[in-house]
Structure 1
């Protein structure tokens, strides 16, 4: 089970933007004028686009330097996360309910770099339900569909089970999350809590779409329905 982080589980956009601004200045010596919207993209992609729209010629060395500066800037602001951000409605109850399902391992598939993803979830007590070592993260220079396959490989190495569309579920709020699931090989639950509407998530190919995570039993039923065939095969 792979959860997107931003606007699926938490919303900490204000703190994230401030961290990006500090990282941009640290790397370029200039103030950040425009930060490109995330829209489900990984930090590695956002960095290069942000450099470009601010008139900075991107070089290969910019990415590791920027991501390191972003991690430092975000960590310095971790005390603001719970004050200025929020857990999305029902996020903790949904994570807890899914964690009680037999044979389910929960991790994240996120555009956020790993250290920042951990801090975002920890700020709201959501980290206890997630195995961060199995996830896919924004510092890895791959599209999200490839990150999904990387995460499936990590889970197979740890758990000894091959993960396919029959037993892998992604939950996310953006059309890009849906596309990653479709291409990478996973069932998809869209959550219309972000910038993509329920209609857009359905049109992109989500198997099921929920308005939000506020009904934990609805989330559990959706996961169970999408993995039922795998459970029957295992039995």
Structure 2
């Protein structure tokens, strides 16, 4: 079970933009004028576009330096997350309820770099439900569909069980999340809480679409209906 983070579980856009501005200043010595829109993309992709739209010619060293600076800037601002951000309605109860399903392990599939994803969920007490070691993150320079397959590989290595669309579910709020899941090999639940409307999520190929996460029983039923249990003790 892989959760998208931003606008699915939490919304910390103000702090994220501020951290990006600081990282941009550290790396380029210039103020950030325009931040490339997230649109469900990984941080690595956002960094390159942000450099370009601000007139900076990207070099090989830019990405690792920027991601390192972004991690530091975000960590420095982590105490602001709960104050200036919000947990999406129903997120905690949904995570808690899904955690009770037999054989389910929850992780994240996110464009956010790993350290920042941990900060985002920890700020709202959601980290206790997530196995971060199995996730796919924005510093891994792959399309999101490939990140899904990377995460499935990590889960297989842990459990000895192959993961396919029959026993893998992605939950996300954007059409990019849906497309990545379909390409990467997973069932997908769209949540119309963020970037995309319910109709857009359905058109993109979501197996199920929820208005939000406020009905935990509905979330659990959706996950259970799309997966076959995996034995945690396998392997």
TM-score, scaled relative to structure 1: 0.97
1:162 aligned to 2:174? no
Tell me the equivalent position of 1:221.
Answer: 221
Tell me the equivalent position of 2:63.
Answer: 63
Alpha-carbon separation, structure 1, partners of 2:46 and 2:36: 7
Q: 1:164 deviation in Å? A: 0.2
Contact kept? 2:103, 2:229, Cα under 8 Å:
no
Q: 1:160 deviation in Å? A: 1.2
Q: 1:7 deviation in Å? A: 0.2
CA RMSD of aligned residues (A): 0.9
Q: Quick one: structure 1 residues 222 and 32, their matched pair in 2 at CA, closer, same or farther if it must change by over 3 Å? A: same
Tell me the equivalent position of 1:47.
Answer: 47
Give structure 2 stretches of 5+ with no counterpart: 231-235
Q: 1:159 deviation in Å? A: 1.2
What is the CA deviation profile of residues 11-41 of structure 1, one whole-angstrom value per residue up to 9, with x for unaligned ones?
0000000000000000000000000110100
Alpha-carbon separation, structure 2, partners of 1:171 and 1:83: 25
Tell me the equivalent position of 1:91.
Answer: 91
Q: 1:60 deviation in Å? A: 1.2
Q: 1:195 deviation in Å? A: 1.4
Alpha-carbon separation, structure 2, partners of 1:154 and 1:10: 25
Paired residues, number:
230
Alpha-carbon separation, structure 2, partners of 1:151 and 1:231: 17
- Three-state SS of the structure 1 residue aligned to 2:25 is helix
Runs of at least 4 residues off by over 4 Å: none
- Three-state SS of the structure 2 residue aligned to 1:188 is strand
Contact kept? 2:104, 2:229, Cα under 8 Å:
no
Tell me the equivalent position of 2:233.
Answer: none
1:94-173 residue pairs with structure 2 within 5 A? 94-173=94-173
Tell me the equivalent position of 1:178.
Answer: 178
Q: 1:231 deviation in Å? A: 4.5
Contact kept? 2:102, 2:229, Cα under 8 Å:
no
What is the CA deviation profile of residues 39-92 of structure 1, one whole-angstrom value per residue up to 9, with x for unaligned ones?
100000000000000000011110000000000000000010000000000000
Q: 1:104 deviation in Å? A: 0.1
Give structure 1 stretches of 5+ with no counterpart: none
